[in-house]
Amino acid sequence: MQILPASQAGFLPAGAPQGSGGLEIIMLVVLMVVFYFFLIRPQTKRAKEHRELVSALDKGDEVVTTGGLLGKITKVSDDFVVLEIADRLEVKVQKHSVQATLPKGTIKSI
């Protein structure tokens, strides 16, 4: 019985292709660019817009919170705002829970 080397016995190919790996690097770069433009960039843009919204909050603004509360800001502090959600009913919420500001008079029209 004759013992053959592994490459001749059919276990391994006789000559593995010798590539420079350039295609793999290009695909990796393309994938990173796609992730940047479709995932990372839009998220950072939304975060910047929300930071600007929170820093611009002022007394008298009508806002909606992430929990769905609709109210008028009566007091602003560093981390919290006080919302008047009904006559003489005020709640204190974190500034970052404010989702959007509304045009003046929106509460009365609802």
Instruction: Check residue 21 and give its pLDDT.
Output: 78
Query: What residue spans define the domains of the chain?
Result: 58-105
Instruction: Check residue 18 and give its pLDDT.
Output: 60
Instruction: Check residue 4 and give its pLDDT.
Output: 59
CATH level 2 (architecture), domain 58-105 = Roll (2.30)
Amino acid identity of residue 34, one-letter, is V
Burial 77-88 (b: 16+ CB within 10 A, else e): eeeebbbbeeee
CA-based radius of gyration for the chain: 30
Contact, 98 vs 53, CB < 8 A?
A: yes
State pLDDT tens for residues 65-89.
999 999 999 999 999 999 999 999 9
Return the closest-CA partner of residue 61 out of 105, 12, 23, 22.
Answer: 105
Please give the model's pTM, rounded to 2 decimal places: 0.69
Helix (H) or strand (E) holding 23: helix 22-35
Helix, strand, coil shares of the chain, percent, nearest 5, are 40, 25, 35
Choice between 10 and 95, residue whose per-residue pLDDT is larger: 95
State pLDDT tens for residues 5-62.
555 555 555 555 566 778 999 999 999 999 999 999 999 999 999 999 999 999 999 9
